[in-house]
Amino acid sequence: MSEGAARRILLLGSTGSIGTQTLDVIAANRDRFEVVGLAAGRNRALLDEQAERFGVSALALGAEDAERLVQDVEADVIINGITGAAGLGPTIAALETDAVLGLANKESLIIGGPVVKPLMAPGRVVPVDSEHSAIAQCLASGTHGEVRRLVITASGGPFRGRSKAELHSVTPQQALAHPTWSMGLMITTNSATLINKGLEVIEAHLLFDVPFDAIDVVVHPQSIVHSMVEFTDGATIAQASPPDMRLPISLALDAPRRIPGVGAPLDWTTPQSWTFEPLDEVAFPAVALAKQVGAVGGTRPAVFNAANEQAVYAFHAGRLAFLDIVPLIETVLSNVQEEAGPPDLAAVLDADRRAREAADRLIGAS
């Protein structure tokens, strides 16, 4: 790409929350970006509307078609905003190109770690999750050897402060009532169970090469401080901004440059209070379980993620209670054994399949 030329953007998951906000940023900065391809899951009507709005002819519907689009379209930046394990193939395809990958699909790195990690050249992957974008910004304040720990913040979701006993009768509608973020069904439910934060811990370990015992989660209900890095000299660097995904999206679109005006700054002229609380691991055991799974590695994270996705769908279908989601994942982890040998893509996909089948059997028997 020549200096000053518009960056060519290929957007996967264009009709979802990340995708539509990405297009908002691009629409406000037409001189900086050109959309060269769009891929959606099922919403063909919105995809066609987006294609007409941005003058795009290279389109895909479904994960497999998105993977083909990655291979066929020349882009400077590929944003993977696909939800869930379906984003793995497109992530691998993106890393096999010369484009920068803006990764919002955390699951593809988490479940495909043994396959994806070796493909991640320095500077080629820019995290889009607000927490990991914040960590990446904070890490600019020191060297890798000077990092003591990462502190990932969590809003606590809609059930923050509730005891385990108070979670017995919560409904899918209540689980989707996130206090600060507007997200899709899977991510919002994962935020309610804190599964999302467990996945983010595994992702942070893989992105930044920090051991699990040096990654902590703290509850911050205001969602202003998006994460922090503690350094060996005692300094803690935090990234703070209003909860708006357009900021981390913009950093992925035009890294390492910042886009003026993409987000509103904090208003320091008005009184405000930020609070930080320890995570209640009795009511929300998902983070501790995710750390155990991540430490084992191999295809265990793929099993963890697949079992959770099936459990979330069952919860919203009225076939599984909210408090049964994490125990179901634990049971699936016990039932689906690791295959011998180094995990390759086939092993990851097979573990994903076996975990979904095991989860569905358990759900059907409950």
Average pLDDT over residues 297-305: 94
Q: Does domain 7-127 have CATH number 3.40.50.300?
A: no
Task: Locate the domains of the chain by residue range.
Answer: 7-127, 129-244+267-295, 298-366
Q: What is the rounded distance in angstroms from the CA atom of residue 69 to the CA atom of residue 63?
A: 10
Strand blocks (E) in 209-311: 215-219, 225-231, 236-240, 277-278
Q: Per-residue pLDDT tens for 226-271?
A: 999 999 999 999 999 999 999 999 999 999 999 999 999 999 999 9
- Residue 5 confidence class, pLDDT cut points 50, 70, 90: confident
* CA torsion through residues 299, 302, 307, 310, sign: negative
Q: Kindly list the distances between the CA atom of residue 162 and the CA atoms of 174, 179, 191, 282, 329, in Å, as whole numbers in the listed order.
A: 13, 14, 14, 11, 22
For domain 298-366, give the fold. Rna Polymerase Sigma Factor; Chain: A (1.10.1740)
Q: Per-residue pLDDT tens for 23-54?
A: 999 999 999 999 999 999 989 999 999 999 99
Is the pTM above the cut of 0.95? no
Q: What is the rounded distance in angstroms from the CA atom of residue 294 to the CA atom of residue 114?
A: 12
Least confident of 68-72, 121-125, 148-152: 121-125
- Locate all alpha helices (DSSP H) within 297-344, ordered by sequence: 300-316, 325-335
7-127 and 298-366 agree in CATH topology: no
Q: What is the rounded distance in angstroms from the CA atom of residue 336 to the CA atom of residue 333?
A: 6
